[in-house]
Structures are given as C-alpha cells and as structure tokens.
Amino acid sequence: MNIREIMARAPVIPVLTIERESDAVPLARALCAGGLTVLEVTLRTAAALGAITAMRKSVPEAIVGAGTLTRPEDFKRVAEAGGQFAVTPGLTDELALAAKQAPFPLLPGIATASELLAARAAGYSALKFFPAEPAGGTAMLSAFAPVFQDVVFCPTGGITRESAPRYLALANVLCVGGSWITPSAALKSGDWAQIESLARDAAGLARRN
C-alpha cells in the first residue's frame, strides 16, 4: 500500500511509545479490536523495534509502522524489524535518500510552508503536520489548503480527543495521529479493555474525506 491508502484506513493513527516489549501484542490486539489497525511505534525506547517485530508476527491484521526516524540508518533498522511504513518529524536530503531505498512508504513531517515545498519537491504530497498545535493547528492547515491543493496531512502533536474532530473536519486532513488512545496508566496496568474502548471511540470519529 502507498502512504495515502494507509492514512485512509482509519481517522486516527495511534502514536505508541512502548516501554515493555511484552506489551506490544496485547496492545496491538486491543487497538485493532477497537477498529484502529494502523499503528505507529515511535523509536523512542529500547523496546520499539522488538515491539514492531512482535506485532507483525502475532497481529497480522495490523499495519505496523515506525515513527521518530531521525537518521538514515533508522530506515534499515525498521526494515529489519518488519515495519510497513515510516514517519519522520522532518525531512532532510539524507532522510529522503534513505526513504527512497527503503521497502516501505514514508510520511515525512513538515511544520512550515517552506518545509512543505521542499517535501513536495522531493516527491511527497502526503505529509505529517508536526507539531500540529504549536505550529498553528487547524488555522495553519486551513491556510495551506488553497495554496497546496494536492497535499494531504496527518496532523500530530498535541492533538486530543476534544480537538481531533476539528482537524478531521478539514478537507486536506486524511487522519490525525494521537496518543490519547493509550494513556500511560492503562499501559502500565495492562488495561487493554480501556484501550480497546478508547480505540473504538476514536475509530468512530467522522472525517470529511
């Protein structure tokens, strides 16, 4: 699948920071049971790559990608772990080159019009808008819309259950990324029922596209 097809599968992509690899499979099963089948595992912990591999092996209905790729070598590590897509907070020439050599699609991050132009020149028209709230939120995306009519976004960063519907109401937003679906307390206690319930609620959010 290309990145637009992945973004279109659900209105919310859970952004996951996994501290314990043993949480990976029950977490993925709870999210998929709630209707969120596209999962972004951030490369912020030692457990991240192992979590991606475990999810791919045990939860075949999930599309598992990696987030927070910041160095070219990250793409090789994610490919070896079995990642199916990648998300970067920004885009450099080095990252763009590594992405072209990777066996999965990239969702690169941008925060400004200049960064958007650079990403589009590199061949990307589906972008992560990050950090969404500090970078201008829905007002910035609304301003981008008439100027960059071929570009769609997954805003991430500071988005909550309350603010998500405002983003999803925009024509140039395919989905949002958020961590509210996996509260740290629920992860620590293994409350998969709560996470499944939050996922089901998020999966039911309406979007314009």
Q: Examine the pLDDT at 209 and tell me if it is beyond 80.
A: no
- State the Cα–Cα distance between residues 37 and 12, nearest whole angstrom: 9
Query: Would you name the residues annotated as active-site residues?
Result: 40, 128
pLDDT digits (tens, 9 = 90+) for 46-74: 999 999 999 999 999 999 999 999 999 99
In the chain, where the domains are located: 3-203
Pairing of strands 126-129, 152-155: parallel
Residue among 67, 63, 54 at smallest CA distance from 36: 63
> What's the pLDDT tens digit per position in 2-13?
999 999 999 999
* 3-203 under CATH 3.60.40.10, yes or no: no
How would residue 208 be classed by pLDDT, with cut points 50, 70 and 90? confident
Burial of 147 (0-12, 13-18, 19+ CB in 10 A): exposed
Q: Which two tokens stand for residue 89?
A: 């907070």
**Residue range 114-162, pLDDT digits in tens:** 999 999 999 999 999 999 999 999 999 999 999 999 999 999 999 999 9
